[in-house]
């Protein structure tokens, strides 16, 4: 059987009638019917029941359609890639990231990188760490950023960032003027928790157990950005990724350091045997510079460093961008 018969079959299943399928394919209705009969003969299956001039799909047809759809998803991805190559040549970069870095941090890094001035196209997918792992493993993106909740066996990886969690709250919160938040402080208000499967949540639970502290969890969410929004709205306290919290500080979110360690670990992952393009290597240098800038900004907000460090990091990034 040929791809043409499969294409006709898919058109009939999608359109619902041979006449509509013929219109989609730009062929005659008899040609569609002939292709369907040929496919049934070659497959040795009855794919449609003929009832009063209509084709009604059998169970075998629905089962086959599942596999056909999987094939065409891959086929359409190839078509998209061909069109991208025609428009941009090799000037294309695809990456996937978990939300802590994907929502805003990478948007700023892309702005620094300025793909529009390089005649190239970028694709950014923001998804769970598990989905990032799948995208990199499948070779669908050049590299990925994820946390450490998913094992990285079979992938090349390196540490991208290692942050201590920060406590966030409304500016009206009674702890907003306290310089450092202790474990016992966290038990004095409603708490917005990350999901139980999150590795940082497990680290927090372990640390609080050592301090004999039990939280009054009122909301669970998988995203630091959602926890920040809830905290800013006065729902309670939360411990979040500081880069995710950074975007809420201008809106009034208060961010404080903890007196004990709760680690947020970010990993860069790559597919083994797939060398990075020059575009990918260049962009990696930009996100590392962006990380320097935003780490300095976080430290300044937390009172962990002077403004000189933040200004130095920003100056380095501007110099890097000017020389690239």
> Which candidate, 117, 126, 157, places its Cα nearest to that of 265?
157
Q: Which of 109, 75, 26 is nearest to 293 (CA)?
A: 109
Question: Which domain CATH number covers 202?
Answer: 3.40.190.10
Mean pLDDT lowest for which of 54-63, 270-279, 304-313? 304-313
Residue 162 exposure: Cα atoms within 13 Å on the Cβ side: 3
Do both 113 and 53 map to the same domain?
A: no
Instruction: Clarify whether residues 201 and 66 are in a common domain.
Output: no
Mark which of 55, 86, 117 sits at the end of a domain. 86
Whether 318 maps to a domain, the answer reads yes
- Specify the DSSP class assigned to residue 181: B
SS3 of 27, please?
coil
Q: Which of 81-95, 136-150, 248-262, 274-288 has the lowest mean pLDDT?
A: 81-95
Q: CB pairs under 8 A, 24+ apart, for 177-180?
A: 178/256, 179/256, 179/257, 179/303, 180/256, 180/257, 180/258, 180/259
User: pLDDT tens digits, residue range 74-102?
Assistant: 666 656 655 655 544 456 899 999 999 99
- The closest alpha carbon to 46, from 3, 9, 11, belongs to 9
Q: Give the domain range for residue 257.
A: 166-261
User: Sign of the C-alpha dihedral, residues 147, 148, 150, 153?
Assistant: positive
Residues 6+ apart with CB under 8 A from 154: 137, 272
Tell me the CATH number at 67: 1.10.10.10
Mean pLDDT of the 119-132 span: 90
pTM strictly above 0.95: no
Q: How many CB atoms lie within 10 A of CB 176?
A: 12
Beta bridge partners of 237: 191
Q: Are residues 180 and 245 in the same domain?
A: yes
On whether both 11 and 137 belong to a single domain, the answer is no
Q: Are residues 276 and 154 in the same domain?
A: yes
Kindly list the strands in the beta sheet with 254-257, ordered across the sheet, starting from the edge strand earlier in the chain. Answer: 216-221, 190-194, 237-240, 166-169, 254-257
pLDDT for 136 beyond 90: yes
Q: Which long-range contacts does 227-235 make (Cβ < 8 Å, 24+ apart)?
A: 227/168, 227/192, 227/194, 228/168, 228/253, 230/192, 231/168, 231/169, 231/170, 231/192, 232/168, 232/170, 233/170, 234/170, 234/172, 234/173, 235/190, 235/192
Residues 189-221 pLDDT 10s:
999 999 988 899 999 999 999 999 999 999 999
Residues 242 and 279 in one domain: no
Domain boundary among 35, 63, 86: 86
Q: How confident is the model at residue 9 (pLDDT cuts 50, 70, 90)?
A: confident
Question: Does one domain contain both 257 and 175?
Answer: yes
Q: Indicate if 58 and 23 belong to the same structural domain.
A: yes
- Provide the mean pLDDT of the chain: 86
Residues 179 and 32 in one domain: no
Number of domains into which the chain is organized: 3
In a domain, 181, yes or no: yes
pLDDT at 286: 96
Q: What is the mean pLDDT of residues 60-64?
A: 87
Asked whether residue 146 falls in the same domain as residue 178, the answer is: no
Using alpha carbons only, give the angle 170, 173, 174 rounded to the nearest 5 degrees. 160
Q: Among the three residues 60, 86, 112, which one is the final residue of a domain in this structure?
A: 86
Contact predicate 29/73, CB 8 Å: no
Separation CA 46–CA 86 (nearest Å): 41
The residues near 128 (Cβ < 8 Å, ≥ 6 apart) are 98, 222
- My answer on whether 57 and 194 are in the same domain is no
Look at residue 37 and tell me if it is in a domain: yes
Handedness of CA 18, 20, 26, 29 (dihedral sign): positive
139 with 10, same domain?
A: no
What is the C-alpha to C-alpha distance for residues 12 and 42, in angstroms, rounded to an integer? Answer: 18
pLDDT, tens digit (0-9, with 9 covering 90-100), for 280-298: 999 999 999 999 999 999 9
Beta-bridge partners for 122: 93
Alpha-carbon torsion angle 286, 288, 292, 298, nearest 10: 100
| pLDDT of residue 232 exceeding 50 | yes
- CA dist., res. 133 & res. 207, Å (int): 28
Higher pLDDT, 89 or 3: 3
């Amino acid at each position: 059987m040929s791809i043409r018969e499969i294409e006709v079959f898919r058109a009939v299943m999608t359109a619902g009638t041979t006449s509509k399928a013929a219109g989609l394919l730009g062929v005659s209705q008899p040609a569609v019917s002939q292709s369907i009969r040929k496919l049934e003969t070659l497959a040795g299956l009855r794919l449609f029941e003929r009832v009063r001039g209509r084709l009604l799909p059998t169970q075998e047809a629905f089962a086959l359609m599942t596999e056909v759809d999987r094939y065409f998803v891959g086929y359409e991805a190839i078509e998209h890639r061909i069109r991208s190559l025609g428009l941009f040549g090799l000037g294309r970069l695809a990456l996937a990231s978990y939300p802590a870095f994907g929502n805003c941090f990478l948007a700023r890094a892309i702005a620094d990188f300025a793909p529009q001035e390089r005649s190239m196209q970028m694709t950014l997918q923001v998804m769970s760490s598990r989905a990032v792992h799948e995208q990199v493993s499948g070779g669908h993106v050049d590299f990925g950023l994820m946390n450490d909740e998913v094992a990285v066996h079979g992938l090349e990886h390196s540490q991208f960032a290692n942050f201590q969690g920060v406590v966030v709250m409304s500016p009206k919160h009674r702890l907003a003027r306290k310089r450092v938040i202790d474990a016992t402080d966290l038990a004095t208000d409603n708490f917005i928790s990350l999901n139980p499967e999150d590795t940082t949540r497990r680290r927090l639970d372990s640390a609080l157990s050592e301090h004999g502290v039990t939280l009054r969890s009122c909301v669970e969410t998988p995203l630091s950005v959602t926890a920040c929004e809830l905290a800013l709205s006065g729902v309670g306290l939360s411990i979040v990724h500081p880069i995710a919290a950074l975007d809420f500080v201008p809106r009034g979110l208060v961010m404080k350091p903890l007196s004990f360690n709760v680690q947020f670990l970010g990993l860069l992952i790559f597919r083994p045997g797939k060398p990075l393009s020059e575009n990918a290597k260049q962009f990696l240098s930009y996100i590392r510079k962006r990380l320097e800038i935003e780490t300095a900004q976080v430290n300044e907000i937390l009172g962990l460093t002077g403004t000189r460090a933040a200004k130095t990091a920003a100056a380095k990034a501007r110099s890097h961008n000017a020389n690239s």
